[in-house]
Amino acid sequence: MARVLYTAEATVTGGRANGHGRTNDGALDVQLRAPKEMGGDGGGTNPEELFAVGFAACFESALGVIGRRERVEVDDASIDSRVSLLPTEERGFKLAVELDVTLPQIQDPEQAARLVAAAHQVCPYSNATRGNIDVTLTANGHEVG
C-alpha cells in the first residue's frame, strides 16, 4: 500500500435530511439539510454542496501543480463547480459534475484546455470519479475534450 499523506476524519449523525457533520479536528461543523428543491427545509448544507466545494478546491490545487511543472502562472484561477444529483433507472442516484475553470492569465484557448486536461489527470477527485460519473470541464469558456 502507498504511503498515506493525509487522512480526513469526520462523523455524521442524522443523515443528509436532518443531520450534523463534524470533522474530528472541529474545523468543519455543519448542519446537514435536504435542499428545498428536494422537498427539504433548506437551512443547512448537503453532500452535493460539500462535494462541489471539495472537488473545486482539489482541482484548483491540481492546476497549481501543473502550472509549476510547466512554469505557467495560474495563481488567479477560479472554478465554478456544479454537482447534480440524478436518478438512475435502477431507482438509485448518481452524480454529475461540471467544472468551469477560468484562467485569466492564459489567453490561448488551446493552452488553457491543455492545463485543465492535465490537472484532471492529477486531481485526486478526478481520479476517484473517472469512469464512475460524468465530469464536464471547460477552460475559459471552451469545453475541454
Q: What is the pTM of this model?
A: 0.94
Give the per-residue pLDDT at 59: 98
What pLDDT score was predicted for residue 121? Answer: 98
Q: What is the pLDDT of residue 86?
A: 96
> What confidence score (pLDDT) does residue 71 get?
97
Tens of pLDDT along 72-96? 999 999 999 999 999 999 999 999 9
Residue 102, C-alpha cell as written in the block: 477560468
Domains of the chain, first to last: 1-45 (2.20.25.10), 47-144 (3.30.300.20)
Question: What does each C-alpha distance from 35 to 39, 84, 92, 128 come to in angstroms?
Answer: 7, 12, 18, 25
pLDDT of residue 64: 97
Which residue type occupies 120? H
pLDDT of residue 1: 74
Low-confidence ranges of the chain (pLDDT < 50): none
